[in-house]
Structure 1
Amino acid sequence: MAQQEGKIPLSKKGKREMSPFIGHELLYDYLSGILDDERKSAVEDHVKFSRDAQLDLNKIQNGEIYAKQLSDTIVSQPIIEQINTPSTYLTVLMQKSNFDRWPQGLKWGLEALVVVAVIVTLLTVAPWQKVLQIGMSGNTKEVVLAEVAKTEKVAQVEDKPQFVDEEPKTEKPLQTPKPLPTVDVKATPATTAVAAKPSATPAAPVAAKVAAATPAKKEADEGSDSEGATSGGFLYRGEIAVTNLSVVGPKITEKVKELGGRKAGGVELGWQKSPTSTYYHFTLPEAKYQDLTTFLGTYGKVHVNKEKHPRVMPDGIIRLIITVDEDKK
């Protein structure tokens, strides 16, 4: 170590030899040339007789030479750019796995496995049905034309005036068409005249007329009955009890609108008849009827009856009246 000002110099009286520990600690200072003369000579004496000190001194000299050579090293610009480039997960994985040192056959096998996995995933996920439908241009055009025509028809139905709200169902028998008026043969003058005559010859035409009128009457009655059975439409009338009507009611209203439902009466959709009852009178595409019943079934048991009704709805459209009540349980 270098002698500092204000420090007591090494005593010359009773001078002792330098210990191996102190000698080793002063080797670097000795090579740096910062020791005073007395310590320098003491380290030199220690190095002459110590093999370990000579080896350590040689190592320190080699380290200084190597450090000096490193300071003169010039790093090329591509290497600097590569060092500054942030590493990705893929590059780190490749470095950790030493992919470059793998056998060529193993590399090809891994690449083939990756390609097969990508192809299988593509074949599984791709919507091939839609692709095939796009390829069949003729059928696609026919379907589009049919859908456009149906949409226009539905739009025309929605432009019609709304229906009048109906009261809850009452027990009434279905109305049957009135029978056609029949001819009272006895009341006609011709019949009276025939009855007054004793001859049987003119009675034959009258009997033929009565017989001809009877089948005609039967056919008219049958025709009116069959027409009454086939004419007219249907009304879906249902009811459901739910829990927490104030929360469920708006959800049912939104679902009906989402499925294409339109109010069919004078009141709004989801009219509050009473604090515990809500009234829905609306039309709906027939294709959405099952979706509606499935949705209502999540809140309670739905009771829907299909009733005959004189009002006829357009094709593909049905009319419903549903009452939603608060569950009394």
Structure 2
Amino acid sequence: MANCTMRRVFNTRNEVVIDRTSSFYELEPFDSIVQALKWRQIRKRVPLCIKKTLCNPFMLPNLIYVGYAATLLFIDFSASLNALLNDNNTTVQSTYAFHRSNTTLVSVLDRPIQNNPYINRIYFVLAIVNIIMAILLCWAWRGRSVFDIVMIPEYLNIIQAILYLWSAMWYPKQDTLGGYFTMAVHKIELVASVIGLFAAIGWIVSWFVTYTRIFGRGYTLDDPDMIATVAMIANAIIYLVYNIQLMVSPEHYESNTLYKSGDICDFIEACFCVFACLRDDDWFWFLPIAGQYGIALGRVQVEAKTFPQFGKNPILLTDACRRRAKVKRKQRNDVLTVPIFVPHRLNKRSISTTI
């Protein structure tokens, strides 16, 4: 520690303070939730939070995402829809039993599937909503260039949404487990799930590139973005495995319920995406995120690795093809931050010895 560079850090930041209620520039510490929820704080902060939420381009697609995921769960676990499905297929099953009793042994793949026109219409509407969400997410990055590398997962998401719309259009045409349209739906959704997995990986990379890290933000369960990211990658993997299983064993189309686990992860991701937007709009100023009671984030400067942030110049797709000049890295000592309340009578040598 004797080689460490010692210096004082004052209660200032290099950034221009635009909104003092933002978590990045918060100068007022709280010692308890009771102190943070005083009427003076609520009256000052809630109107600003509402204004931020209305201007947040990610809030609308995430709210739509919650409704989309909740509808999928309703289809998966609704007893009324399942009863409607059973009533709708009574005639089909009786026709199939009559046909099988008067012919030779029928292959398993020739068995008719349970096709509910009401659910098919809901899936078609959800596919359109999925495309709208993908477009809104692209629009949320309007400050970036269309050739920016962080836009790649957004474009993959649009392609995935179009493929799911294509497969939803063929749902009413499915007749048997091994029929042409049934297998075509499996192939389309398998390709869509592969693209969705690559999109999820791209979102993780763009999250790393554009994310600003302070207390409670980053690789911690205090951060709702972290939980949403884990649920997103789990959902992508589950749907990929599910579609591979259907391609290998199409006879289990109606009995394989692995997609329900994927829909649960989808709903968890949607909810925590909304929580992340609310956190970014400072709605949770009263919560001790990362245990920061008694600490004002605007008065803390952490000397650590500098991560690229949203304000950094966009990385274009063509930048990867350019030849980069080699830069020699200079060896430097670590920087140790010392609070401003260190007594002045301690000199540099005594501080180093104490630490």
User: TM tier, shorter chain?
Assistant: under 0.3
TM-score by length of 1: 0.16
> Quick one: higher RCO (CA 8 Å, sep 6+), 1 or 2?
2
Normalized per residue, the structure richer in strand is 1
TM-score by length of 2: 0.15
Structure of larger gyration radius: 1
Normalized per residue, the structure richer in helix is 2
